[in-house]
Structure 1
Amino acid sequence: MKTLGRFQIVALALLGLVLLAPLSLEAAGTSLLETVQQRGRVIVGVPTDAVPFGSIDKTGNRVGFSMDLAKEIADALKVKLELRDTNPTTRIPLIQSGGVDVVIEPSLITKKRMEVVDFTVPYYMDLKGNRMIVEKGSAIKGYRDLGGKTVAVIQGSIAIDRIKRNAPNAKLLILQDYPATLLALKRGQADALFAMDYIVAEMLEKNRGENFEATPPLMEIQLIGMMVRQNDSKWRNAIDFVLHDLWQSKKYHEIYRKHFQRDPHPNFSIPQWEF
């Protein structure tokens, strides 16, 4: 019996890989859009402690801007909606593991995050950026005042990178959620609490009797997108097209006014495409 030479064995092995490649690519190339449609349900990650994007009302129901947008996506795709709680710590792992199909949180679009997940077109623009909560009369007004100070932030927040870059001598107290950061401030474990403008405003509103105030806005324009898995343009486009239609029909504006009590900023719009 004639034996195969080393070169022939390698050649056959490579041929096998080539023949199998289309099957592997086909399996790996299944878009989440098909999965969602076959499942009959879209799983959306939403926040529960980020008013007005997401919170729990007095009856125990999830409410907010994120929830209403999630409903619109489910309706447009003609599937049922399943909501799951997410936060800055869990949202990326849940996207990567397939625990959720899309995250609708106030997730800032950054280059670092786009190395591990993808984003839809921006669906919200924050013009004021970040602020800090400090004790009334505090000398802390901005980044330059944070040298040697302890700043409470939440894990997974863009605040961590911004403070490291703009106030390298500040000490970071990284906690799991916003209530924990506020508690640290109340207990004197932190000199400041760093968060997005709307979160700072909501915290101060809920704690009117406390001896706290907000610093001036740091004026960093922030574009917020919905987080999806990488390398699935078909799924990302499907959500982008829903956002396109919501903007064109003015339904987006209606939902926005409901939760923010104002119109979208005149300098912001969701991209529109020709069909």
Structure 2
Amino acid sequence: MVFKKTFLSVLTLLIIFVLSMTAFADSTLEKVQSEGVLVAGVKFDSPPFGFVDESGQVVGFDIDVAKYIADELGVELELKQVTSKTRIPMLQEGTVDLLVATMTHNKTREEAIDYSITYFFTGQKLLVKSNSNIKGTDDLAGKTIATVQGSTSEINIKNAQPAAEVLTFQEYPQAFMAVKQGRADAMTTDASILAGFAGQNPGFEIVGPNISDEPYGIGVCENDSDFRDAVNFSIMKMWESGDYELTYAKWFGPNTKYPLPLSGKVEVWP
């Protein structure tokens, strides 16, 4: 009888614990609003999406998008640095509330996290020195390609050109430096990210057709529909108000360091 009572007591406590954890997991929107802070995981190494400017401030397109969402929620914005390798674990661990971090929405990642609607459209390309003979993936056989570990670019380039050697790095500047120093023949990732390096470094150019299409989504925890809806509605409002196009022109307009034509519109629900 004592054993039965003990077992029932432990079982009851376990049920209460599971229910409390479930409630906590479903309360990101409430947590953000009650604490008055939205913690966004962003990149510090990906101009013009997220980078440290000359004054030491973290700025960029993704930072402006995150700030718009925070303003719509009526809270302050706190930024935390993530990389392609660390961003999903940091979201799952609760270190950040969402990821605005040049993250392609794909089926594999859908098994781990949920996504907002697409907020940016781009495609994977190659960055090479201007005097390079590389014009596309057909020219990469026997060449060395630099990219970032944990990115879709790493998988895509291996599939597109199995005869190339792929060097992976933790951050984009390290991958670019490998090309600059001659340790790699090309760098590959999304054209929107490559535009940042080409814009800041004369003598480099983006080449070739898209290796893949890369729709960016904002990462949120799984099964958190209230928070995901709030993020989606903020993105839609940013588009409908015209603020999205103004922000895009600020970072990718024809007179910027990173000119890149707007290639798609934000999904807007009726």
* TM-score tier after normalising by the smaller chain length: 0.7 to 0.9
**Could you say if the C-alpha distance between residues 102 and 264 of structure 1 is closer, same or farther in structure 2, counting changes exceeding 3 Å?**
farther
Q: TM-score, normalised by structure 1?
A: 0.85
SS for the counterpart of 1:216 is: strand
Q: In terms of Rg, which structure is larger? A: 1
CA drift at 1:141: 2.1
**Could you say if the C-alpha distance between residues 214 and 158 of structure 1 is closer, same or farther in structure 2, counting changes exceeding 3 Å?**
same
Write the deviation string for residues 141-167 of structure 1: whole angstroms up to 9, x where unpaired: 222222222111111211111012111
Q: What's 1:168 paired with?
A: 162
Q: Is the 8 A contact 2:42 2:62 kept in 1?
A: yes
Q: What's 1:69 paired with?
A: 65
Distance in 1 (alpha carbons) for counterparts of 2:177 and 2:246: 35
**Could you say if the C-alpha distance between residues 267 and 213 of structure 1 is closer, same or farther in structure 2, counting changes exceeding 3 Å?**
closer
Identity fraction in percent: 37
Aligned partner of 2:121 among 107, 125, 135: 125
Equivalent residue letter for 1:181: A
Q: Structure 2 regions of 5+ residues with no counterpart?
A: 255-259
Distance in 2 (alpha carbons) for counterparts of 1:203 and 1:133: 9
How many residues are paired up?
Answer: 263
Q: What's 2:179 paired with?
A: 185
Equivalent residue letter for 2:81: D
Equivalent residue letter for 1:254: L
SS for the counterpart of 1:105 is: coil
**Could you say if the C-alpha distance between residues 86 and 23 of structure 1 is closer, same or farther in structure 2, counting changes exceeding 3 Å?**
closer
Distance in 2 (alpha carbons) for counterparts of 1:246 and 1:216: 32
CA drift at 1:23: 6.4
Q: What's 1:223 paired with?
A: 215
For the pair 1:157 / 2:151, whether they are aligned, the reply is yes
CA drift at 1:267: 4.5
Q: Is the 8 A contact 1:74 1:80 kept in 2?
A: yes
CA drift at 1:168: 1.6
For the pair 1:251 / 2:243, whether they are aligned, the reply is yes
Q: Is the 8 A contact 1:253 1:264 kept in 2?
A: no
For the pair 1:233 / 2:229, whether they are aligned, the reply is no
SS for the counterpart of 2:234 is: helix
Q: TM-score, normalised by structure 2?
A: 0.86
Name the Cα RMSD after superposition.
2.7
SS for the counterpart of 1:112 is: helix
Q: Is the 8 A contact 1:46 1:105 kept in 2?
A: yes
